[in-house]
Amino acid sequence: MDYIKIRFGKDFDPLGASFERTLEDIFRQHAVSPVFSKAGSWTPPMDICETPEEIILRAEIAGVSKEDLEVEINSRAVRIYGQRLEPPRGQSATYRLAEIQYGPFERILYLPAPIDPEVVSSSYVNGFLLIRLAKRNQAKPHRITITDG
């Protein structure tokens, strides 16, 4: 639900109104010109789900081709990186809103449990990268007998 703010003139609590506008500006997402969106990297949203047998990662990276995507894995972390290329813009087009981010991205996710880097599967369907990582079998502690002297 959207809320409507009503103000009764410019002199009504100018300091509070100024502070409120500053907070709104900090937390509001602004439309960014596509020219400026190339400057930095972006961060795709991801989920991590854990079962007793595996860890499942899901990354939302629509518009990234498989060829522009790479994944590196070790026993404690996963690094997903790549690039979403900006589609060609029409010469006569005027952007009214530009929220989709383009350019390079990188995420390093530290895993909640050690995994076996040799037992991994992945798929990329409908803009979602799904990675399934088998947990490493934890060795049971071996009890030893303590002897005198």
Q: Tens place of pLDDT for every residue, the chain, 149 residues?
A: 555 555 555 555 555 556 556 655 555 544 444 444 344 589 999 999 999 999 999 999 999 999 999 999 998 999 999 999 988 888 888 888 888 999 999 999 999 999 999 999 999 999 999 999 999 887 667 788 888 87
pLDDT at res. 44: 94
Distance of CA 59 to the CA centre of its chain: 7
> What single letter denotes the amino acid at residue 81?
Y
pLDDT at res. 63: 93
Q: What is the DSSP letter of 60?
A: E
What CATH code would you report for 32-85+99-135? 2.60.40.790
Domain boundaries, the chain: 32-85+99-135
pLDDT at res. 36: 42
The answer to whether the predicted template modeling score (pTM) of the entire model surpasses 0.75 is no
**Which residues does 126 contact at the CB level (< 8 Å), separation at least 6?**
62
